[in-house]
Structure 1
Amino acid sequence: MNTALLQDSLDGKRLVVIGAGSHIGRTLARTASAAGAELVLAGPDADKLAATADALPGPRAARIQQTDLTDEDSIAALAEAAGPIDHLVSTAAVPANGPVSDLVLADVQQAFAAKVFGPLLLAKHLAGRMNEGGSLTFFSGVAAWRPVPERVVMATTNGALSFLVEALAVELAPLRVNAVSPGIIDSGAWDRLGEDKDAFLRGVAGRNPARRTGTPDDVVRAVLYAIANPFVTGTVLHVDGGARLV
């Protein structure tokens, strides 16, 4: 990805990436590092965070902080370890899919912790440490606008997050708070379909107005836009190829 336009917004800035062990989080970390950002990589799996850190192209070594969004003490520890920061991005998600009749409360609570309670607590503990011009960017998802059976929790948590960013944008102003809402992204998550993956993605592409599926770079471009544009706040950036419309 061309990072020339990102230099002013990221060079020398400290960026916290939560979910940096995921494919999209790793792509974001690589792109931001190449643009000169100083990174704090956070997430539940220390080994995945280390793998992301080892692959960074930038001149600065990344900090690693194992973080559990279901645990407020863990979030407070992240805030202490990160110190003053410029931007925070959380890609965190914990699915709790299945028919309503089969849902397990503990799984539902985990899903809300990743998408709603966690972002709220991140704002509580890190917003006061942000430098002027800072921003928080969270991940919603297309399921909130186009619900399907057996994705009730996913639709609800993603929808709740979209309202949370609006409320936080007002309360935390002039800090900016936004969300990115991906659609079907070929990030590796669909590899579990095996031989059926290609047919599934072709079907998605055929239905989307954009006539293709998304890539991690598509999502990262939206995140970097949310970080860089000082006049965007309280907004959900849809990166779904128009899937929510059809």
Structure 2
Amino acid sequence: MIEHTALVVGGTSGIGLATARLLQQRGATVHVVGRTERKLDPELIPHWADGGDPAQIAAVVAKAGPIDWLVVSLSGGEGAGPIAGLDVATLRRAFDAKFWAHLTTVRAALPHLTPTGSITLIGAISARAAMPGTAGLAAINGAVEALVKPLAAELAPIRVNGVSPGLVDTPWWSGFPAEARAAYFAQMAERLPTRRVATAEDVAEVVALAATNPNLTATVIEADGGARLAALV
């Protein structure tokens, strides 16, 4: 059996953690990177670093490498809101937390990726869903997902893919009161073709496919429960 090493940056919660656990269950040695210490599965190898800091992330990938599957699941909590009232400094921070952190991580990992390895970036369906109040998020996630095709061509035979989730029940929503969050999820579930809000594990299955399938590259997989088909406003 061929042994693989995965590095999940942004892997201490939500989709990243679910992906790390799934890849570990499938036999990979899995390193996870986060900015804050969390209690993790004992089979996961934790590293504490900021994905947007070139020196910190370079030190981590050097320890973890050689890497077969790089998954970048970094995000922040800012960038949403009507454009007329969206603070530009806030939007810059949101780009730093997601787009620039994705790019910094990919650049740092390149010398440590195996020739048959893969890079999987996590965007969001806001890049295409045209929902009012998400122009900032659309710009950030659109920028992340726009990296996929040119990098797949530039870095071949290393494969590069993206996953574009929709509404997912993850700790990203933990800042909302529990009752309000539950009510919102119930309302949105009625509008989704799947009639349910995704779990982190649902999306992790798609991320694992993108990371591990040797015939998949230059593709952004929309794992959004059909959100792009529905009116979510």
For normalisation by structure 2, the TM-score amounts to 0.89
The equivalent of 1:110 in structure 2 is 93
- Is the 1:19–1:43 contact (alpha carbons within 8 Å) kept by the matching residues of 2? yes
The separation in 2 between residues aligned to 1:180 and 1:85, in whole angstroms, is: 19
1:153 maps to amino acid: G
Q: 2:29 aligns with which of 19, 38, 50?
A: 38
Query: What is the DSSP-based 3-state SS (H/G/I as helix, E as strand, rest coil) of the residue aligned with 1:68?
Result: coil
Distance 1:70 1:125, change over 3 A: closer
- Is the 1:112–1:157 contact (alpha carbons within 8 Å) kept by the matching residues of 2? yes
The equivalent of 2:223 in structure 1 is 239
For normalisation by structure 1, the TM-score amounts to 0.85
Q: Tell me whether 1:228 sits opposite 2:212 in the alignment.
A: yes
Q: What stretches of structure 2 of length at least 5 have no aligned partner? A: none
Instruction: Give runs of aligned pairs for residues 38-187 of structure 1, distance below 5 A.
Output: 38-45=29-36, 47-48=37-38, 51-52=39-40, 55-56=41-42, 58=43, 62-94=44-76, 95-187=78-170
Deviations 1:152-201 (A, max 9, x none): 21110111111111111111111011111111112244352321333222
Which runs of at least 4 in structure 1 moved beyond 6 Å after TM superposition?
none
The equivalent of 1:13 in structure 2 is 4
The separation in 2 between residues aligned to 1:203 and 1:236, in whole angstroms, is: 27
Instruction: Give the Å deviation of 1:115.
Output: 2.8
Deviations 1:98-122 (A, max 9, x none): 3334434443223222332222222
Distance 1:105 1:71, change over 3 A: farther
Instruction: Give the Å deviation of 1:142.
Output: 1.2
The separation in 1 between residues aligned to 2:31 and 2:226, in whole angstroms, is: 32
> If each structure's helix is expressed as a fraction of its own residues, which one has the higher value?
1
Q: What stretches of structure 1 of length at least 5 have no aligned partner? A: 1-7
Q: How many residues are paired up? A: 228
* Structure of greater relative contact order (alpha carbons < 8 Å, 6+ residues apart): 2
- Is the 2:54–2:108 contact (alpha carbons within 8 Å) kept by the matching residues of 1? no
The separation in 2 between residues aligned to 1:42 and 1:113, in whole angstroms, is: 17
Distance 1:117 1:173, change over 3 A: same
Q: Tell me whether 1:214 sits opposite 2:205 in the alignment.
A: no
Distance 1:141 1:127, change over 3 A: same
Percent identical among aligned pairs is 35
The separation in 1 between residues aligned to 2:185 and 2:87, in whole angstroms, is: 30
